[in-house]
Amino acid sequence: MRANWISGILLTTAIAATPALAQETADAVSPEAPTEGQVQGLTDQVIAALEAKANGVPVEAENWMVAAANPLAVEAGARVLRAGGSAADAMVAVQVVLGLVEPQSSGLGGGAFLVWYDAASETLTTLDGRETAPLEATPRLFQDENGEPLKFFDAVVGGLSVGTPGTPALLEEAHRRWGRSPWPSLFVDGIQLADEGFLVSPRLAGLVERDAERLSRFPATAAYFLPDGQPLAQGQRLTNPAYAETLRTLATEGSAGFYGGDIAAGIVNTVRTAPGNPGVLSVTDLALYQVIEREPVCAAYRAYEVCGMGPPSSGALTVGQILGMVQGYDLPAMGPDSPEAWRLIGDASRLAFADRGRYMADSDFVPMPTEGLVDPDYLAQRGSLLSEGGALVDIAPGNPEFDHASNWADDVSLELPSTSHISIVDAYGNVLSMTTTIENGFGSRLMTNGFLLNNELTDFSFRTHSDGVPIANRLEPGKRPRSSMSPTIVLQDGVPVLAIGSPGGSRIIGYVAKSIIAWADWGMNIQEAVMLPHLVNRFGTYDLELDTAAEGHSDALIAMGFEVNPRDLTSGLHAIEIGEVLKGAADHRREGIALGD
**Given the complex with ligand GLY, which of 282 and 437 has the nearer CB atom?**
437
Smallest distance from ligand GLY to CB 307, Å? 18
Judged by CB under 6 A, which stretch of 89-97, 219-227, 477-485, 491-499 contacts ligand GLY? Answer: 477-485
User: From the CA atom positions of the chain, what is the Rg in Å?
Assistant: 22
Residue nearest ligand GLY, CB atom distance: 483
Stretch that binds ligand GLY, among 88-96, 335-343, 481-489, 540-548 (CB under 6 A): 481-489
Q: 586 with 593: CB under 8 angstroms?
A: yes
Q: How far is the CB of 146 from ligand GLY (least distance, A)?
A: 27
By CB under 6 A, name the one of 437, 464, 570, 571 that touches ligand GLY. 437
CA–CA separation, 430 and 582 (whole Å) = 12
- Whichever of 12 and 458 has its CB closer to ligand GLY, that residue is 458
Looking at beta carbons only, is 34 or 310 nearer to ligand GLY? Answer: 310
CB 122 within 8 A of CB 494: yes
Q: How far is the CB of 395 from ligand GLY (least distance, A)?
A: 21
Instruction: Give residue 491's identity as a one-letter amino acid code.
Output: L
Residue 439 makes contact with ligand GLY by CB under 6 A:
yes
Which part of the chain contacts ligand GLY (CB under 6 A), choosing from 26-34, 144-152, 482-490, 553-561? 482-490
Q: Which is nearer to ligand GLY, 76 or 271 (CB)?
A: 271
Shortest distance (Å) from residue 495 CB to ligand GLY: 28
DSSP 409: B
The residue within the footprint of ligand GLY, chosen from 38, 246, 483, 502 (CB under 6 A), is 483
Q: Which stretch binds ligand GLY (CB under 6 A): 75-83, 169-177, 197-205, 480-488?
A: 480-488
Which of 139, 441 has the CB closer to ligand GLY? 441
Based on DSSP, count helices (H) and strands (E) in the chain, helices before strands. 22, 23
Q: How many CB atoms lie within 10 A of CB 9?
A: 25
Q: Which is nearer to ligand GLY, 369 or 417 (CB)?
A: 417
Compute CA 176 distance to the chain's CA centroid, rounded to the nearest angstrom. 23
Could you say whether residue 59 binds ligand GLY (CB under 6 A)? no
* Angle made by CA atoms 522, 592, 539, in degrees to the nearest 5: 55
Q: Which one among 7, 167, 449, 484 touches ligand GLY, defined by CB under 6 A?
A: 484
Are 48 and 78 spatial neighbours (Cβ–Cβ below 8 Å)? no
Residues noted as catalytic: 419
The answer to whether the Cα torsion of 72, 76, 77, 81 is positive or negative is: positive
Contacts of 330 (CB under 8 A, 6+ apart): none
Q: How many CA atoms lie within 13 A of 470 on its CB side?
A: 14
By beta-carbon proximity to ligand GLY, the closer residue of 150 and 556 is 150
**The one among 215, 427, 485, 489 contacting ligand GLY by CB under 6 A:** 485
Which residue type is seen at 92?
Answer: V
- Between the two ends of the chain, the Cα-to-Cα distance in Å is 20
User: Which one among 415, 426, 521, 528 touches ligand GLY, defined by CB under 6 A?
Assistant: 415
Instruction: Please choose, out of 117-125, 364-372, 406-414, 479-487, the segment that lies near ligand GLY by the rule CB under 6 A.
Output: 479-487
Strands 541-545 and 563-567: parallel
Give min distance, CB of 485 to ligand GLY, in A: 5
In terms of CB distance, is 26 or 414 closer to ligand GLY? Answer: 414
Q: How far is the CB of 489 from ligand GLY (least distance, A)?
A: 18
Instruction: Dump the DSSP string for 96-125.
Output: HHHHHHSTTT--TTSEEEEEEEETTTTEEE
How many residues touch ligand GLY under the rule CB under 6 A: the total is 9
Helices (H), 158-235: 167-178, 188-196, 202-210, 212-215, 219-225
Contact in structure between 321 and 355 (CB atoms under 8 Å)? yes
Of 337-396, binders to ligand GLY (CB under 6 A) are none
Residue 292: strand, helix, or coil: strand
What DSSP string describes 433-466? Answer: EEEEE-SSTTTTS-EETTEEPP-GGGGSBS-SEE
* Out of 419, 436, 448, 461, the residue judged to bind ligand GLY by CB under 6 A: 419
The CB-of-414 to ligand GLY minimum distance in angstroms stands at: 10
Q: How far is the CB of 439 from ligand GLY (least distance, A)?
A: 4
Among the listed residues 172, 459, 528, 577, the single contact to ligand GLY using CB under 6 A: 459
Interface residues with ligand GLY (CB under 6 A)? 415, 419, 437, 439, 459, 483-485, 505
